[in-house]
Amino acid sequence: MKFDIHKIRSQFPILQQQVNGKPLVYFDNAATSQKPQVVIDAEVKYYNEINANIHRGVHHLSQVATDAYEESRIKIQKHINAKNSFEVLFTSGTTFGINLVANGFGQILKPGDEVIVSHLEHHSNIVPWQFACERSGATLKVIPMLQDGSLDMDAYQNLLTENTKIVAVNHISNALGVVNPIKFIIEKAHQVGAAVLIDGAQATPHLKPDVQDLDCDFYVFSGHKIAGPTGTGILYGKETWLNKLPPYQGGGEMIKEVTFEKTTYACLPHKFEAGTPNIAGGIVLGVAIDYLNEIGFDNIAAYEQELLDYGMQQLRKLEGIEFYGTTAEKASVISFNFKGIHPYDVGAIIDKLGIAVRTGHHCAQPIMNYFDIPGTIRASFAFYNTKEEIDTMIEALKKAQMMLS
pLDDT in the model for residue 185: 98
3-state helix, strand, coil split of the chain in percent (to 5) is 45, 20, 40
Beta bridge partner(s), residue 197: 168, 218
List 133, 216, 267, 363, catalytic entry: 363
Any domain includes 36: no
Given 293, 328, 357, the domain boundary residue is 293
- Give the residue from 293, 321, 348 where a domain finishes: 293
Q: With H, G, I as helix, E, B as strand and everything else as coil, classify residue 64.
A: helix
165 is a domain residue = yes
Q: Is residue 133 annotated as part of the catalytic site, yes or no? A: no
Are residues 84 and 179 part of one domain? yes
Angle among Cα 38, 88, 182 to the nearest 5 degrees reads 100
pLDDT of amino acid 405: 87
Please tell me whether residues 197 and 242 are part of one structural domain: yes
> Are residue 301 and residue 284 in the same domain, yes or no?
no
Name the pairing type of β-strands 114-118 and 164-170.
Answer: parallel
198 lies in the same domain as 344: no
Quick one: which of 377, 356, 375 has its CA closest to 366? 375
Inside any domain, residue 203: yes
Residues 357 and 330 in one domain: yes
Whole-number CA gyration radius for the chain: 22
Q: 198: which strand partners? A: 169, 219
Please report whether residue 225 resides in a domain: yes
* CA quadruple 96, 101, 104, 109: dihedral sign: negative
For the chain, what's the residue count?
A: 405
d(CA 37, CA 223): 16
Residues 72 and 190 grouped into a single domain? yes
Tell me whether residue 120 is in a domain. yes
Q: How many CB atoms lie within 10 A of CB 276?
A: 13
| 3-class state of residue 93 by DSSP | coil
78 and 184: one domain? yes
By the 10 Å C-beta count (0-12 exposed, 13-18 middle, 19+ buried), 176 is classed as buried
Sign of CA dihedral 117, 119, 123, 127: positive
- Strands 88-91 and 233-237, by their bridges, are antiparallel
Is-contact 323 379, C-beta < 8 A? Answer: no
The one-letter amino acid code at 311 reads G
Choose among 4, 18, 21, 53: nearest CA to 277: 53
**Distance of alpha carbon 220 from alpha carbon 95, whole angstroms:** 8
Residues 399, 113: Cα–Cα separation, whole Å: 53
From first to last of the 405 residues of the chain, give the pLDDT tens digit: 679 999 999 999 999 999 999 999 999 999 999 999 999 999 999 999 999 999 988 999 999 999 999 999 999 999 999 999 999 999 999 999 999 999 999 999 999 999 999 999 999 999 999 999 999 999 999 999 999 999 999 999 999 999 999 999 999 999 999 999 999 999 999 999 999 999 999 999 999 999 999 999 999 999 999 999 999 999 999 999 999 999 999 998 999 999 999 999 999 999 999 999 999 999 999 999 999 999 999 999 999 999 999 999 999 999 999 999 999 999 999 999 999 999 999 999 999 999 999 999 999 999 999 999 999 999 999 999 999 999 999 999 999 999 998
**Cα separation of 383 and 292, whole Å?**
10
Q: Which pLDDT does position 1 carry in this prediction?
A: 61
Domain presence at residue 156:
yes
Helical pair 297-315 and 387-404, crossing angle rounded to 10 deg: 30
Is the same domain home to 150 and 215? Answer: yes
Gap between the Cα atoms of 128 and 142, Å rounded: 14
Which residue intervals of 170-319 are DSSP H helices? Answer: 182-191, 211-214, 239-244, 279-295, 297-315
- Single residue among 258, 293, 328 that ends a domain in this structure: 293
* Omega before residue 366 within 30° of 0, cis: no
**Do 114 and 222 reside in the same domain of the chain?**
yes
Give the total number of structural domains in the chain. 2
- 275 in the same domain as 150: yes
Point out which residues pair with 167 in neighbouring strands.
Answer: 116, 196
Q: What is the CATH number of the domain that holds 26?
A: 3.90.1150.10
Domain that holds residue 322: 5-31+296-404
Inter-axis angle of helices 127-136 and 94-108, to 10 degrees? 10
- Are 115 and 234 contained in the same domain? yes
386 falls within a domain: yes
CATH number, domain of 245, equals: 3.40.640.10
Rounded to whole angstroms, the Cα distance separating 112 from 273 reads 32
User: Are residue 231 and residue 379 in the same domain, yes or no?
Assistant: no
